[in-house]
Structure 1
Amino acid sequence: MSFDIRKTQVAVEETWHERGPRLTSPLRVGMACAVIRNPFAGRYEKDLLPFMAELRELGTLLSKALIERLEANKVEAYGKGAIVGEDGELEHGALWHEAGGWAMRSVLGEPKAIVPAAKTVGTLGTRLMIPLGHIQAAYVRSHFGTAEMTVWDAPRRDEIVYGLAMATGGRVHERSGGLKAIDIKINDGQR
């Protein structure tokens, strides 16, 4: 590994109802993140692409941690996020777009929809809401959701928190209309 992991965190939230009827099985939303040292903290680096390629390994590690808890065949939504410590730049978080997205698609059997993303520059305990979207089509409203990523003691000034999120379904008791997952066709927001 060419990146220095200080800590990882994996969490799964289960929701049984939202004041409506209780589900027979809960909606499970998982988030996995890693706090790593930012190799570019405090300086400008012109070529970030080699590091982005190395981050695929981190993406695979986090993807597998989520799959282990959620089961690949049950994942219906995903997203990714990054929080860059104050001595870094937003572009260091943007490296996760390709690396994190590639890793999740790889372990999930190459789903077709873009992986929604959020990134920011922050400090200890910064809270980032990672957007979620359906793994096969971007226009499935029922699967627009969020997963919270926060680590109480990260990122330090010279760190980055990279995270991935997956969910086993759409919002509990969704009733906002739009394209249903069972009706997805080519060109419904696919790659």
Structure 2
Amino acid sequence: MDISIRRISTVIDDKLEEAGRQAAPVLRKVAVIAVVQNPCLGRYVEDLTPLIDASEGIGARMAEVAMAAMGPHGVQSYGKAGIVGLAGEQEHANALLTTTFATPFRKAMGGGAAWISSMTKVAAPGAAIDVPMNAATDVYVRSHYDGMSLTLSGAPMPDEIALIFCLANRGRLNARVGGLSYQDSLATVSA
């Protein structure tokens, strides 16, 4: 199945300070949004395998854009989301956001053993979505529980799906609630 990408947008958010404390290093978050034509409109489709298979190419294109936006910053956390236009089903976004879609991101960033948090919904153009994020090494690294709140201008139209992937180079600024550290999680991944 060939799925047409209608639009790709990138959001870069550099957080430099919080609570009067300078970030060292800066917290860079990147969101890449691909708006695609929904090929399953107007009918119920039992087998969504063609969507899953087609998502790999979309993920590869988005991963390239995301890594360029991260610049010199490494990737420590990630998250994904999807908004289906009003003429589609929520399951259409879920089919496009499986491991097949995420594998190109993991390859581009050089790893990513942890489950990738996600959120999907059906909504009108301009809807807001909160994309949950967690450490790429281990979902239990509390300092990296974070997210990005996005509002998509003019998307998704009823026949579209907006796919979103977010990356960050570190955990929250001033994180101090304990638990497994990111450095300790690296040891677990390499063991």
Change (3 A) 1:110 1:24: closer
For 2:23, what is the secondary structure of its paired residue?
coil
Matching of residues 59-98 of structure 1 within 5 Å: 59-71=59-71, 74-95=74-95, 96-98=97-99
| TM-score, normalised by the number of residues in structure 1 | 0.92
Structure 1: give runs of 5+ residues left out of the alignment: none
Identical pairs, percent? 29
Contact 1:85/1:157, CA 8 A, preserved across alignment = yes
For 1:45, what is the secondary structure of its paired residue?
coil
Contact 1:72/1:108, CA 8 A, preserved across alignment = no
Instruction: Give the AA of the match of 1:135.
Output: A
Contact 2:52/2:98, CA 8 A, preserved across alignment = no
Instruction: Give the AA of the match of 1:184.
Output: S
1:159 matches 2:160: yes
Deviant stretches of 4+, over 4 Å: 185-188
Contact 2:74/2:109, CA 8 A, preserved across alignment = no
Shift of 1:134: 0.4
Instruction: Give the AA of the match of 1:109.
Output: G
For 2:127, what is the secondary structure of its paired residue?
coil
Change (3 A) 1:120 1:91: same
Instruction: Give the AA of the match of 2:179.
Output: G
Name the CA distance, whole Å, in 2 between partners of 1:154 and 1:60: 21
Moved more, 12-21 or 165-174: 12-21
Shift of 1:186: 7.0
Alignment RMSD (CA, Å): 1.9
Shift of 1:100: 2.9
Instruction: Give the AA of the match of 2:26.
Output: P
Shift of 1:20: 3.1
| TM-score, normalised by the number of residues in structure 2 | 0.92
Contact 1:33/1:164, CA 8 A, preserved across alignment = yes
Change (3 A) 1:14 1:152: same
Matching of residues 39-188 of structure 1 within 5 Å: 39-71=39-71, 74-95=74-95, 96-184=97-185
Task: Give the structure with the higher percent strand.
Answer: 2
Contact 1:31/1:148, CA 8 A, preserved across alignment = no
Contact 1:41/1:159, CA 8 A, preserved across alignment = no
Contact 2:137/2:186, CA 8 A, preserved across alignment = no
Name the CA distance, whole Å, in 1 between partners of 2:80 and 2:163: 8
